[in-house]
């Protein structure tokens, strides 16, 4: 059967992504018993590495499910019934967080912009002025189904000045560009290994501020003895068992390796190759006569390039052609952006500029195969010229 599965040659998606070879080797480590002192020490060391990588004051909480778990847990734990929440939506994920938030509070207001745009910090300031009782703000830094970046640091400064708490979804930006909990004034900063860190889906990393811990402890509805609990993990080591439940041992092995790759290469170098890969890809897209989805290039993500589907082209058929002709997998849009764009991921091991020649070749070739004449050669030339120039 295995030979009939027809695996892709290149997975150029926006997550899950191709994992680094070192991560795959890490996953091959034996599975330790979670009560074993050696495993507990190893776990603490992985948390320390994550703290360093994330630039946190305290070790992050590691939750044992892919980052949707962390996002839902953040909503359930931090938001109290009487909180007024401001949700910022510039895409499907930002909007989606609002639905969780609504489950835990009675009063939610939103700033929403078209899904090819970014949130304007001035609009956040206005919304807070209009509703000064707002206690929690939620932001998706990189709304992946749109490939657009929000100005998290500027927004965070406004939220901090107001005295509200900020929950930031940095799942698909952390590790691929400069973003961290402290500089974005985030009280809960959510990320995971399966995007720019080139790891595998199965864990959430949560940076939690001191005041967020206090607020969660005061929230009578914050989950306890639950998969959604963040509180259970703070003092995990002080109880009669080392963890609230069996951690995902293999995922921790993989995370350890992903963090080593990131820290050994150096965050700045990793961000630089993400930025250059995306810049080269955007140059290729434009040179082929295609359009970027992002309304302005300044807000286009360094970790994902979203390409507007040309008129008359069936987006699903376009990805299917790239997959069947070349073995290249791209991501589709999601929700509102589904069918309107194709996403090329630049995350972890695929955030090397030469992958953009592959992406542009497969995209142009697939369009030609569907009868939409595209100058693929010009696209590839533009990618190579951009790589040559550096940034």
**Cis peptide before 121, with omega less than 30 degrees from 0?**
no
Of 66, 117, 180, 187, which one interacts with ligand PLP (CB under 6 A)?
Answer: 66
Q: Is 144 in the site for ligand PLP (CB under 6 A)?
A: yes
| Nearer CB in complex with ligand PLP: 200/259 | 200
**Gap between the Cα atoms of 340 and 328, Å rounded:** 19
Smallest distance from ligand PLP to CB 71, Å: 6
| Nearer CB in complex with ligand PLP: 169/315 | 169
51 close to 59: Cβ distance less than 8 angstroms: yes
- Site stretch for ligand PLP (CB under 6 A), options 73-81, 113-121, 164-172, 281-289: 164-172
150 close to 140: Cβ distance less than 8 angstroms: yes
Smallest distance from ligand PLP to CB 191, Å: 9
DSSP 149: E
- Site stretch for ligand PLP (CB under 6 A), options 61-69, 156-164, 280-288, 373-381: 61-69
Q: Is 293 in the site for ligand PLP (CB under 6 A)?
A: no
Q: What is the DSSP string of 120-175?
A: -HHHHHHHHHHSTTEEEEEEESEETTTTEE--HHHHHHHHHHHT-EEEEE-TTTBT
If we measure between CA atoms, which residue out of 339, 265, 268, 351 comes closest to residue 304?
Answer: 351
| Nearer CB in complex with ligand PLP: 93/330 | 93
**Gap between the Cα atoms of 77 and 313, Å rounded:** 44
Of 22, 79, 140, 321, which one interacts with ligand PLP (CB under 6 A)?
Answer: 140
If we measure between CA atoms, which residue out of 295, 243, 251, 276 comes closest to residue 357?
Answer: 276
Q: Is 299 in the site for ligand PLP (CB under 6 A)?
A: no
Tokens of 384: 């190579």
Q: Is 333 in the site for ligand PLP (CB under 6 A)?
A: no
Q: Is 67 in the site for ligand PLP (CB under 6 A)?
A: yes
- How many residues touch ligand PLP under the rule CB under 6 A: the total is 12
Inter-CA distances, 84 with 50, 108, 185, 188, Å: 32, 6, 19, 17
Give the contact letters, 227-246, x = binds to ligand PLP (CB under 6 A), - = no: --------------------
Scanning the structure block, which residue is given the tokens 């360094």?
A: 302
165-184 residues in contact with ligand PLP (CB under 6 A) are 169, 171-172
98-127 residues in contact with ligand PLP (CB under 6 A) are none
**Site residues (vs ligand PLP, CB under 6 A):** 15, 66-68, 93, 140, 142, 144, 169, 171-172, 195
């Amino acid at each position: 059967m295995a030979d009939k599965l027809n695996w892709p040659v290149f997975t150029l998606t926006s997550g899950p992504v191709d994992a680094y070879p070192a991560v795959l080797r890490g996953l091959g480590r034996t599975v330790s018993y979670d009560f074993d002192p050696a495993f507990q020490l190893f776990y603490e060391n992985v948390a320390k590495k994550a703290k360093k990588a994330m630039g946190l004051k305290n070790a992050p909480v590691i939750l044992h499910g892919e980052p949707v778990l962390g996002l839902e847990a953040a909503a359930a734990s931090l938001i109290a019934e009487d909180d007024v929440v401001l949700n910022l939506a510039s895409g499907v994920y930002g909007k989606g967080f609002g639905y969780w938030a609504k489950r835990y509070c009675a009063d939610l207001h939103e700033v929403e912009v078209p899904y090819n745009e970014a949130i304007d910090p001035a609009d956040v300031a206005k919304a807070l002025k209009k509703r000064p009782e707002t206690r929690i703000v939620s932001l998706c830094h990189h709304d992946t189904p749109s490939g657009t970046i929000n100005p998290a640091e500027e927004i965070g400064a406004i939220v901090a000045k107001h005295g509200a708490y900020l929950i930031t979804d940095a799942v698909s930006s952390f590790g691929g560009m400069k973003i961290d909990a402290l500089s974005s004034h985030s009280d809960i900063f959510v990320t995971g290994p399966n995007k720019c860190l080139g790891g595998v889906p199965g864990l959430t990393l949560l940076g939690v501020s001191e005041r967020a811990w206090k607020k969660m402890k005061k929230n009578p509805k914050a989950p306890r003895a639950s998969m959604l609990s963040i509180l259970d993990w703070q003092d995990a080591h002080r109880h009669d068992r080392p963890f609230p439940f069996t951690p995902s041992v293999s995922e921790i092995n993989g995370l350890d390796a992903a963090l080593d790759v990131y820290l050994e290469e150096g965050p700045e170098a990793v961000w630089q190759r993400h930025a250059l890969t995306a810049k080269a890809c955007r140059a290729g897209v434009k040179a082929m006569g295609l359009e970027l989805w992002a309304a302005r290039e300044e807000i286009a993500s360094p970790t994902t390039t979203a390409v507007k589907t040309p008129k008359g082209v069936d987006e699903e058929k376009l990805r299917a052609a790239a997959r069947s002709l070349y073995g290249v997998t791209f991501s589709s849009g999601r929700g509102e952006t589904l069918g309107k764009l194709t996403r090329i991921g630049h995350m972890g091991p695929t955030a090397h500029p030469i992958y953009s020649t592959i992406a542009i070749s497969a995209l142009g070739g697939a369009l030609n195969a569907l009868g939409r004449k595209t100058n693929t050669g010009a696209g590839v030339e533009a990618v190579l010229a951009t790589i040559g120039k550096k940034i």
